[in-house]
Amino acid sequence: MLGGLALSAVVAPHANAASGLLQPLSVEPWTRMPGAPILDHPYGLPSPRESVVVRRAARAWPVPGAASSLTPLADLHGAITPNGLVYERHHAGVPDIDPDQHRLVIHGLVREPKLFTMEDLLRLPSESRVHFLECSGNTASEWKGPSGLPVQLTHGLLSCCEWTGVRLSTLLEAAGGLAANNGHAPRWILAEGADAAAMTRSLPLDRVLDRALVVYAQNGERLRPENGYPLRLLVPGFEGNTNVKWLRRLKLVDAPLETREETSKYTNLLADGRARQFVFEMDAKSVITRPSPGHKLTTHGYYPIVGLAWSGRGAIRQVEVSVDGGRSWQPARLDGTPGDRALTRFHTGWVWNGEPATILSRATDSTGYIQPTREALVAARGLNSNYHYNAIQQWRVDADGSVKNA
Ligand SMILES: Nc1nc2c(c(=O)[nH]1)N[C@H]1C(S)=C(S)[C@@H](COP(=O)(O)O)O[C@H]1N2
Ligand SMILES: [Mo]
């Protein structure tokens, strides 16, 4: 059963009418001749027929090297983002780092400061884990109401990879463990990148020690240059910015360094003029990726509704979908067992009767937190803030079948 309907009942009428199931299959040119030789592409490429499935830029940035590109969520399947489609956010371009010359330093309040080569790091115990990464600026376009943009441009600062690397705790052990000094206790850790932005963030040790990894691989191969090659910090569930790319330095300190990226940027100004600082976890969120703006429903009848849900505080417990503007909700089916701080694919079905409709999804995470409405989020946070927009997203389906962000 799908969406309460037997599969045969919903699929058969289309299939018979449209594709002439009773005709014998024709023998096409590609079946009559051997295909292209192997090793045309020693590194495989997607089918040229999928050439529209690419990252896109949402806007031009005013500073040289500052740029972002967004993941084509509507065209992806499952939960893993292919490496070539992982969204990018660079504050000062993509550095061209020679891995043989790259070094990672651990210093500050540790017993024995250490310098690691990439070779050293590859010899340490490693592990692989699937986690999402989301820029805290993701979906900022919707704070003031529906932007009209497609899901790639509203929610595409989002990816999910299997990351491989070394636990932060293993590196600390290699540095002889934590060491207080002159009354300074090691409570925070500063991470610094080797790019021209020298991106630096301070992170509370007690919240990252059990989960942070220093990673050198994504989805089975070494990191892509744009995602931090040869080394990046991965803090599952934390806002994208804290996942420092091109990582070269970790310093154990007793208090946050109050860097640019945690004062002037990546703080959240509230309506009353106060600001939230060190807002690390990405709150639970979901979005319908198909159908989504730009798609068109061509006939009345059955349509699958699929999307993605995630939470920076744990796993997804439930996703509900509404096709009547939020008046009634039905639980969606989740793929497998939702992973900790990983994208979760949800599915449901819907028979569209040709009337205008509004479709929405709402996520609940393993802490019991429920994704808020836009009204509730704005009431709590005001409209000054750019970051951490996680409200329920609605798409409008018009009578002609076109889907809009309106
Ligand atoms: N060194 C460095 N690390 C960085 C950045 C950067 O510009 N320089 N951008 C940050 C931001 S804002 C985000 S959202 C993520 C993006 O990671 P990705 O480009 O691999 O998707 O990296 C973070 N780490
Ligand atoms: Mo970001």
pLDDT at position 1 is: 34
The closest-lying atom of ligand 1 relative to the alpha carbon of residue 88 is 19
> Looking at the domain covering 103-276, what would its CATH class be?
alpha beta
The closest-lying atom of ligand 1 relative to the alpha carbon of residue 239 is 14
pLDDT at position 159 is: 98
- How far, in Å, is the centroid of ligand 1 from the Cα of 4? 43
- Position of tokens 């703006």? 293
pLDDT at position 291 is: 98
* Dihedral angle computed from the Cα positions of residues 98, 99, 102 and 106, in that order, rounded to the nearest 10 degrees: 160
pLDDT at position 285 is: 98
Intervals of the chain under pLDDT 50: 1-17
Q: What's the CA gap between 139 and 235, in Å, rounded?
A: 21
Domain with residues 285-404, CATH architecture: Sandwich (2.60)
Q: What's the CA gap between 244 and 70, in Å, rounded?
A: 18
pLDDT at position 13 is: 45
The closest-lying atom of ligand 1 relative to the alpha carbon of residue 266 is 12
pLDDT at position 145 is: 96
The residue contributing the CA closest to ligand 1 atom 23 is 241
- How far, in Å, is the centroid of ligand 2 from the Cα of 69? 11
Q: What's the CA gap between 165 and 232, in Å, rounded?
A: 9
- By CB atoms closer than 10 A (0-12, 13-18, 19+), residue 34 is exposed
Question: Which residues have CB under 8 Å from 400's CB, separation 6+?
Answer: 296
pLDDT at position 4 is: 42
Q: What's the CA gap between 114 and 112, in Å, rounded?
A: 6
Phi, psi for residue 60 in degrees, rounded to 5: -90, 140
Question: Which residues have CB under 8 Å from 325's CB, separation 6+?
Answer: 357, 358, 360, 394
Give which of 152, 147, 137, 76 is closest to 394, Cα–Cα. 147
The closest-lying atom of ligand 1 relative to the alpha carbon of residue 68 is 19
Q: How many helices (H) and strands (E) does the chain have?
A: 7, 23
Task: Identify the DSSP state of 221.
Answer: E
pLDDT at position 6 is: 46
**Segments making up each domain of the chain, as ranges:** 103-276, 285-404
- Position of tokens 């500073």? 63
pLDDT at position 60 is: 84
- Position of tokens 């969120």? 285
Q: What's the CA gap between 106 and 108, in Å, rounded?
A: 7
Q: What's the CA gap between 374 and 358, in Å, rounded?
A: 15
Name the residue of 88, 91, 203, 222 to mutate for ligand 1: max ligand atoms within 8 A of Cβ: 91
Give bridge partners of residue 188 from the DSSP assignment: 204, 253
**Which residues have CB under 6 Å of ligand 1?**
86-91, 133, 135, 159, 193, 195, 197, 199, 226-228, 240-241, 243-246
